Structure 1
């Protein structure tokens, strides 16, 4: 079944509860909504919008933006990287203002725990993570500062997995999966073309599959490179998503709110004041 998203008022959740996914909410909602079977969220690094979307070295990501909803006014919350990842995963930067390794996990609400408590599933997949449940600050091209789910005490360690554990059969994915490339494939240390190629090879078949299997691919960046007001690429592709540019200003809190609304979860922190991404 194809499903349609509706942008609603910033303080009103899109879905009242997981079991009411197909029912209209109130007079302000223009359509009903059907929750996706799977959402995959990919986060890349440190690039301004026009350095990726439409750039000759990132043809695949540009093609994804043209196939889906391309947010031309998406912005990170702050600099440097780490607080933006925390904002996306928990609706708050948790008071973090730097990239220093977080030694003591937060006892705070977060998307992973929300999904588990609602009877849904979550897994975070990090490229170059040495082993399941690894809590070290770095290992080769892996860094913990790009892996927000490991920073919350109530997310089980066995849901912190290396990218090699990403299912090859997309129907076996958890309800929501975060996929974080390593320092090369996230555009941090290596040419953009390498990351573009990685995206096509790693998730290209998922992008194709999602469009016909009631699922979503979300690609966003943590921050820009400090040259364009933290203006970042963000796109959403999948079943029921109308292709085209979206010009409203959005941020990581809006991305989080969209996922939470889809599954009838209460918005966390600043996501409560964010307007969901308009996808239909």
Structure 2
């Protein structure tokens, strides 16, 4: 059952608690086999600062043809056999953050159970933030270039978490005490969706050095940069693994569930949904080599 954002706002305004719960129950998509939110045990080990940047609609070869993206692939590690989970955007973002697409095949608003990596980290007492370009304080009503479909966190529990903050907070946090997980979503121009991959490449050339010059990244951090979908019909997108000791090509087949598994492992929280069976990059990161 689909629920558009206008309906959800109306329900929230009339009876904030009871009807919002009813809408969440009615609109929850059927969970595909093996993609539920039942947790599995994650490998033990220290938490690391994790940074994730998700960009838009660019196939592997086109992304790697850009000067700054290419320089990152040469200097660090790139997964050359990494795949999206189909179109459109939203199911891919949900897969990265909860190990499931929830049977969703559109970009509409769907209230989902209060699960996902953000809720896990909150329950575990681990700090996290989602930095959103264009965000003005309301997950459901912030202006362009912000896009709700590129912010998966309010879908879980039908609430805008206080951890969702404007992109402008990122530099301040990097210079002080960044959270254990920093999820970074540029707006519809800088992510390449509306303005193309060259714009995204220039944006990365400004933001990535801010991350890699931070003490958190230098000490134990890892930055993942990927794209939600290929837009070329082949499902192949890059995953850049920017970590101090990682360099080379990662050739094993991976997908967005693999990213979910890796982030969960690094932050020492249980994997969710399809991520429980996914191939993780945890071993490669611990060893400091791509294979």
Could you state the TM-score of these two structures normalised by the residue count of structure 2? Answer: 0.78
**Residues 96/65 of structure 1: CA separation in 2 closer, same or farther (3 Å cut):** same
Shift of 1:94: 1.6
> How many residues are treated as equivalent by the alignment?
244
Partner of 1:15: 43
Shift of 1:154: 7.5
Cα displacement (A) at 1:67:
2.0
1:207 CA displacement? 2.3
RMSD: 2.0
Aligned to 1:249: 253
User: Where does structure 1 differ by over 3 angstroms across 4 or more consecutive aligned residues?
Assistant: 11-14, 208-211
Distance 1:187 1:69 in 2: 22
Query: How many Å separate the matches in 1 of 2:182 and 2:158?
Result: 17
1:271 aligns with 2:279: no
SS, match of residue 189 in structure 1: coil
Pair 1:47-2:58 in alignment: yes
Q: Which runs of 5+ in 1 are unaligned?
A: 1-10, 22-33
Q: Is the 8 A contact 1:167 1:173 kept in 2?
A: no
**Bigger fraction of residues in helix:** 2
Report whether the alignment pairs 1:71 with 2:76.
no
Please list every run of 5 or more consecutive structure 2 residues that lacks an aligned counterpart in the other structure. 1-38
| Structure possessing the higher radius of gyration over alpha carbons | 2
Measured after TM superposition, the shift of residue 243 of structure 1 is: 0.1
TM-score (norm 1): 0.81
Distance in 1 separating the partners of 2:151 and 2:266: 23
Could you tell me how far apart the structure 1 residues matched to 2:145 and 2:190 are?
9
Q: How far did residue 185 of structure 1 move?
A: 0.6
Question: How much has 1:14 moved relative to structure 2?
Answer: 5.6
Deviation string, structure 1 residues 144-164 (Cα, Å, up to 9, x no partner):
001101211277632111111
Deviates more, 1:153-162 or 1:72-81: 153-162
